[in-house]
Amino acid sequence: MIAEKLQKHIETLIRAQYQRIEKMKEDKEFIDYAALSPIVVGLIGGDGIGPFITNHTYQVLKSLLSKELAEGKIVFRQIDGLTIENRAKAARAIPEDVLEEIKACHVLLKGPTTTPRAGDKWKNIESANVAMRRELDLFANIRPVRVPEEDIDWVFYRENTEGSYVLGSHGICLDDELCMDFTVTTKEGSERILRAAFDYAVKSGKNRVTAVTKANIIKATDGKFLELAKVIAKEYPSVEFDDWYVDIMAAKLLDPKRRTQFKVIVLPNLYGDILTDEAAELQGGVGTAGSANLGKRYAMFEAIHGSAPRMVDEGRAAYADPSSMMRAAVMMLEHIGYAQQALELSTALDKALVSEKKMVITGRQDGATSQDFCNYVIELLNESK
Ligand code: IPM
Ligand code: MG
């Protein structure tokens, strides 16, 4: 009986994964933003502190892109339905109508969304992030971390559609005694993230890629990822390549003598999740870190952190740090071909967060509000004109 249940379950999962592989093989071309007019940017507030920091980032973008907006080259579209209340009510990670609205955009700027777990007041639905990354096939999660005074300049290429995440809601408890989860590595899925990392290493002149796995223990899936990394490294002779296990990598990110050698770091989904929070902490916290989730047709930009329900419960939502979203907005502008505006915004953020620091966000009443910080950034942008 148990064997039968397991067999049926696994067969369904395997079939779906082979279908995904076929789909990945079909999707070859990247969208060309230069050919689009207007570029439609979906603004998703999400929950918790999400609507606050998304709105403040939008205000900054409206000021920065006033010309492009007036000329109709860029259009912003509000998408409101991705709240935990709505998702729980629909018992879907992303309700159908919201997914349709999302898919009608070209790129998305997304606030954090609450991810329930067993025992929460919400139904234990799948994470909206994981669902969106899967539905839009956003395979490359790119997370830069910079601490110039420490000579840290890292760019993480986190695989975003496989690993422990893809079947994270499809594990199985056979009975009260035994539960199993599944981890997936595909050749196609690994190659595309590895190539993205190596291409970036060449294009950026960083010329160094580090793969992170636990291939000595997780032999099939991590083993495959590492084996493919070594094969692809050979296609890029100008790029120095090495590999580390995730445990010692977590330690070495804290070693001032070693860590400056890391440049581009490519890694499976879960390790990317964990190490990027650690890395962001060195930069000033997860509240300062933005990320790009890139696919061939869609791209989504977001903070690397969650919706911080604790901040909302404690009445501190207005004091949340919007700079993670603003950094994500810089990445979005770069991605859609607005390099000049991206540079203007990142320069203003560097000034606000590193050199001037006239307004410091602490996440509490003793710091600046997200709105004050937003106004300060707009002021800096106007000064530089
Ligand atoms: C992240 C977040 C998400 C993840 C959560 C919110 C599902 O931690 O983007 O790193 O685990 O990927
Ligand atoms: Mg995370």
- Tell the residue nearest (CA) to atom 9 of ligand 1: 304
Q: Per DSSP, which regions of the chain are E strands?
A: 39-44, 74-79, 107-110, 140-147, 152-159, 172-173, 179-180, 208-213, 240-245, 264-267, 290-294, 299-303
- Tell the residue nearest (CA) to atom 4 of ligand 1: 273
Nearest to 195 by CA among 51, 292, 294, 126: 294
**Does pTM top 0.85 for this prediction?**
yes
What's the CA gap between 352 and 166, in Å, rounded? 38
- Tell the residue nearest (CA) to atom 6 of ligand 1: 306
Mean pLDDT for the chain overall: 95
What's the CA gap between 84 and 92, in Å, rounded? 10
What digits encode the pLDDT tens for the residues 194-230? 999 999 999 999 999 999 999 999 999 999 999 999 9
Tokens of 294: 């890139």
The pair phi, psi for residue 112, each rounded to 5°, is -65, 150
- Residue-range domains of the chain with CATH: 31-138+295-385 (3.40.718.10), 142-285 (3.40.718.10)
Tokens of 340: 């000049």
At 138 the pLDDT is: 97
At 292 the pLDDT is: 98
At 174 the pLDDT is: 87
Ligand nearest to the CA of 129: 1
- Is 293 touching ligand 1 by the criterion CB < 6 Å? no
For the CA of 273, the nearest atom of ligand 1: 10
What's the CA gap between 262 and 278, in Å, rounded? 14
Rounded to the nearest angstrom, the distance between the alpha carbon of 273 and the centre of ligand 2 is 4
What's the CA gap between 77 and 329, in Å, rounded? 15
The pair phi, psi for residue 198, each rounded to 5°, is -65, -40
Query: Which residues surround the ion ligand 2 when the cut-off is CB under 5 Å?
Result: 273
Ligand nearest to the CA of 112: 1
What digits encode the pLDDT tens for the residues 272-307? 999 999 999 999 999 899 999 999 999 999 999 999
Ligand nearest to the CA of 278: 2
In the predicted structure, residue 127 carries a pLDDT above the cut 80: yes
- Tell the residue nearest (CA) to atom 1 of ligand 1: 304
For the CA of 276, the nearest atom of ligand 1: 10
In the predicted structure, residue 384 carries a pLDDT above the cut 90: no
pLDDT above 90 coverage of the chain, percent: 92
- The residue whose CB lies within 8 Å of the most ligand 1 atoms, and thus the one to mutate among 127, 141, 269, 291, is 127
- Is 306 touching ligand 1 by the criterion CB < 6 Å? yes
Instruction: Identify the band that residue 356 occupies on the pLDDT scale cut at 50, 70 and 90.
Output: confident
In the predicted structure, residue 27 carries a pLDDT above the cut 90: no
At 277 the pLDDT is: 96
- Is 127 touching ligand 1 by the criterion CB < 6 Å? yes
pLDDT above 70 coverage of the chain, percent: 100
- Is 273 touching ligand 1 by the criterion CB < 6 Å? yes
What digits encode the pLDDT tens for the residues 242-256? 999 999 999 999 999
For the CA of 113, the nearest atom of ligand 1: 6
Ligand nearest to the CA of 93: 1
